[in-house]
Amino acid sequence: MNVNRNTIVLAAAGVATALLFAANLFVGSVHIPFGQVVDIVLGRGAEKETWEFIVLQTRLPQAVTAAICGASLATAGLLLQTVFANPLAGPSVLGISSGAGLGVALVIMAGGALGIGGFGAEIAGALAGAGAGLAAIVLFSTRVGSSTSLLIIGLMLSYLTSAAITLLNFGASAEKAHAFMVWGLGNFSGVGLQRLPALAIPCLAGLAVATLLVKPLNAMTLGTDYARNLGINTVRTRNLLLGATGILTAATTAFCGPIAFIGLAVPHIARLLTRSAGHHRLLPATMLTGVATALLCNMACIAPGNGTVLPLNAVTPVIGAPVVIYVVINRRRINYFN
Amino acid sequence: MEHKLICANKLTIGYHSRPADRAVMSGLNFSLDGGQMACIVGANGIGKSTLLRTVIGAQPALQGSVRIRGVDVGRMHARSLSRLVSIVLTHKTMTGGLTAAEVVALGRTPHTGFWGRLTSADRRIVERSMALAGIDRKAASPMAELSDGERQKVMIAKALAQECPVMILDEPTAFLDTAGRIETMQLLHRLTRTERKAIMLTTHDVGLATRLADRLWLMTPGGMTCGVPEDLIARGALDSLTAGTSIRFDAASGTFETTPDIGAGISLHCPDATLKRLIMTALSRNDIDRAGTDIRIEAQSATSISVLTDGQRHQCTSIGRMLDCLSAQAAADGEPEDF
């Protein structure tokens, strides 16, 4: 009965995700007739060349970017919540995304003096910053046994990097401060077709690692001591999980900015859907739900319909925060973390 | 000695630290065979959990070694150890979203392949483990909906599903109610007999332990004393757990008792030992000090107790009435001085 329910849930999520993906191609800040989009997708061309360009060069890579980032951030959140046995763990709390933020801030606000700039440099800065944040947390994880302590250290690292960013902001020109602010708003549209592989390859690698670790992840739900007693190499598992999380977060943050709430909220939505904490079901459900959520947020950004595009980080909390509040309020009834 | 399932020789347990290692206890010798249950008792902080952690290989021995089937635990890979020793710990797990059967199935982890898929043989072992632990009726319930006692049974079933000859439990009765404590200990005792498990556990339930353990390992600041519980009781060894207090282990009742102090000036006469003990406990608790008077209590039965003082006889129909009578007299005696 459980298997049936699980199959139905996954199938429904799959169909919803496919529909959302298609919808992302049909909706945008520029109005393109429905039939024309169908023609373009089927390779029959369109009345206007610009429409073809918009669908194939803008909307398609943007939808693919949203899908990859959604799956990546949601999976990163799930891995962290399992490793730290904490429902409020997410990619933005371990100092990884704030490390990326610091890297980008350095490039935007201090890079000019060194002749560094541009989108490529921002990505390099984000990757370097995320890498440094990850290295710091891995270094601490070899010295600190408890996952909760590590979570607190991650939070403190985030505060330290925010302090550095604030300082950079304070000294920067209004124009540069604005540029950094815009990066911080989050955006699925900046990647484009050419750079898509650079985002997709590390993300798919991270997702593959997560998938390969399903068995140790299940054992880890019992806690480190039980997992070790079940023959799991807990140190290696934790390092691999943190590494995968770091890659997933660094890549998405580098290309799309620090996207809030998807990593934190989506695993909870997946748990509510599958009604299970078993990773055989939870991991695929989390990936699919992550894709769907990101695509939904991407569409919601153009909701005003008058050509205005809302910042992504203005939309994700609207979907994410109520989920987290719902879960916290109903914790006694839902209870998958006690 | 070497034929025993578990044995330790001149073992020192403790923590590696700088500048010098911190030994918690040294010179430990013990052994345990299949079909036996050893209960480790001792004060908080004496090193019971450190000992267990050393036996399960979670912490290295500072000196000496623990051997299971002749192999040093400290030199064993987690994978090999996972087929020899299964554990049940006190701390809560975040398994609320898993069903009881899914948690028990995690016990099969050392035996399943890369993806952790269960074969039909695995499923049979999971079902049998749940039946042995008496939790099979809750197989489909999420952990979040189970009581503490039921969760404990699930974790014991998980340990059984692991199919290890040795089971180690850290305070398995800690969060349970009275019925749960007795049930859990009886279950563990049964598993030593039917499944020939070697079970090692820590507990503060010394009374239960003396009744159900095959071996009692008594940890005191002076070291660890091992033996059959009755031998330790007969030698008065259990009193070392309460050294420095007026609490003593009472062999007859199997519990720790304070020596009842019935109060000065009172004499108690009762032919029934049980009733006498009850009245003594009641008097002791109420701190009735009637020094300078001469009160004689004669108890024929629980409903017929006489209090004799100054030639007067008060007949009481319960121990409660007897206490009321005594305190009324104490108040009456005190009155003249107040006015």
pLDDT, residue A3, reads 60
Residue whose token pair is 């199997």: B254
Torsion on CA atoms B250, B253, B256, B260, rounded to nearest 10: -70
Query: Is A338 part of a structural domain of the chain?
Result: no
At residue B338 the predicted structure's pLDDT band, cuts being 50, 70 and 90, is: very low
Which chain A residues contact residue B115 at CB under 8 A? 214-215
Mean pLDDT of B250-258: 80
Closest CA to B51 of B24, B85, B77: B24
pLDDT of B337 above 60: no
Binary contact (A218, B116; C-beta < 8 A) = yes
- Smallest Cβ–Cβ distance between A221 and the set B81, B83, B98 belongs to B98
Q: Name the average pLDDT for chain B.
A: 89
CATH classification of the domain holding A122 = 1.10.3470.10
pLDDT, residue A119, reads 74
**pLDDT digit string (tens) for B265-298?**
888 888 888 898 889 888 888 877 677 778 889 9
How many helical (H) and strand (E) elements, i.e. helices and strands, does chain A have? 17, 0
Other CB atoms within 10 A of residue A110 CB: 15
- Smallest Cβ–Cβ distance between A225 and the set B58, B109, B144 belongs to B58
- C-alpha neighbours within 13 Å on the C-beta side of residue A164: 18
The whole-angstrom separation of Cα A253 and Cα A199 is: 10
Closest CA to A196 of A73, A58, A290, A49: A58
Residue B76 sits at the chain A interface (C-beta within 8 Å): no
**pLDDT digit string (tens) for B45-79?**
899 999 999 999 889 999 999 999 999 999 999 89
The distance of B158 to chain A (nearest Cα, Å) reads 10
Which chain A residues contact residue B93 at CB under 8 A? 221-223, 226
- ipTM value > 0.90: no
Mean pLDDT of B110-115: 94
With a CB cutoff of 8 Å and minimum separation 6, the contacts of B269 are: B296, B297, B298, B299
Looking at residue B34, the DSSP 8-state letter turns out to be T
Q: How many CB pairs under 8 A join A and B?
A: 92
Structural contact between residues A97 and A313, judged by C-beta atoms closer than 8 angstroms: no
Query: Is A64 part of a structural domain of the chain?
Result: yes
pLDDT, residue B20, reads 85
The whole-angstrom separation of Cα B329 and Cα B293 is: 11
Chain A positions touching chain B (beta carbons under 8 Å):
85, 214-215, 218-219, 221-223, 225-226, 228-233, 271, 275-278, 280, 334-338
Domain that holds residue A210: 3-333
Residue B95 sits at the chain A interface (C-beta within 8 Å): yes
Structural contact between residues A257 and A98, judged by C-beta atoms closer than 8 angstroms: no
pLDDT, residue A336, reads 63
**pLDDT digit string (tens) for B192-217?**
999 999 999 999 999 999 999 999 99
The distance of B116 to chain A (nearest Cα, Å) reads 5
pLDDT, residue B339, reads 46
**Antiparallel, parallel or unpaired: β B223-227 and B247-250:** unpaired
Query: Is A237 part of a structural domain of the chain?
Result: yes
- Smallest Cβ–Cβ distance between A233 and the set B78, B85, B94 belongs to B78
Closest CA to B258 of B283, B235, B233: B283
Total structural domains within chain A: 1
Query: Is A239 part of a structural domain of the chain?
Result: yes
Positions in chain A short of pLDDT 50: 1
The distance of A286 to chain B (nearest Cα, Å) reads 15
- Smallest Cβ–Cβ distance between B93 and the set A223, A278, A335 belongs to A223
Q: Express as a percent the part of chain B with pLDDT over 90.
A: 58
pLDDT of B152 above 80: yes
Looking at residue A56, the DSSP 8-state letter turns out to be I
pLDDT, residue B1, reads 46
Looking at residue A309, the DSSP 8-state letter turns out to be -
The distance of A212 to chain B (nearest Cα, Å) reads 8
Structural contact between residues B206 and B249, judged by C-beta atoms closer than 8 angstroms: yes
pLDDT of B189 above 80: yes
The distance of A333 to chain B (nearest Cα, Å) reads 8
Residue B273 sits at the chain A interface (C-beta within 8 Å): no
In sequence order, the β-bridge partners of residue B316 are B305
- Closest alpha carbon within chain B to A229: B82
What is the amino acid identity at position A181? M
Binary contact (A231, B112; C-beta < 8 A) = no
Binary contact (B116, A280; C-beta < 8 A) = yes
Query: Is A148 part of a structural domain of the chain?
Result: yes
3-state secondary structure of A47: coil
CA distances from A141 to A85, A135, A256, B93 (A): 15, 10, 28, 21
**CA angle B155–B160–B166, rounded 5-degree value:** 105
Q: Name the average pLDDT for chain A.
A: 87
Exposed/middle/buried for residue A236 (C-beta within 10 Å: 0-12, 13-18, 19+): exposed
What is the amino acid identity at position A64? V
At residue B101 the predicted structure's pLDDT band, cuts being 50, 70 and 90, is: very high
Mean pLDDT of B304-333: 88
Closest CA to A231 of B208, B175, B116, B311: B116
Say which residue, B175 or A334, is predicted with more confidence: B175
- Positive or negative, the CA dihedral A255, A261, A264, A268 is negative
SS3 sequence of B242-310: HCCCCEEEECCCCEEEECCCCCCCEEEECCCHHHHHHHHHHHHHCCCCCCCCCEEEEEEECCEEEEEEC
Query: Is A291 part of a structural domain of the chain?
Result: yes
The whole-angstrom separation of Cα A97 and Cα A105 is: 12
Which chain A residues contact residue B98 at CB under 8 A? 221, 276-278
Query: Is A113 part of a structural domain of the chain?
Result: yes
Structural contact between residues B155 and B111, judged by C-beta atoms closer than 8 angstroms: no
Residue whose token pair is 């108040």: B331
Q: Phi, psi (5° rounding) for residue A292?
A: -60, -45
Binary contact (A338, B96; C-beta < 8 A) = yes
Query: Is A194 part of a structural domain of the chain?
Result: yes
Closest CA to B76 of A167, A331, A291, A231: A231
Which chain A residues contact residue B92 at CB under 8 A? 338
What's the pTM value of the predicted model, to 2 decimals? 0.84
Q: Express as a percent the part of chain A with pLDDT over 90.
A: 38
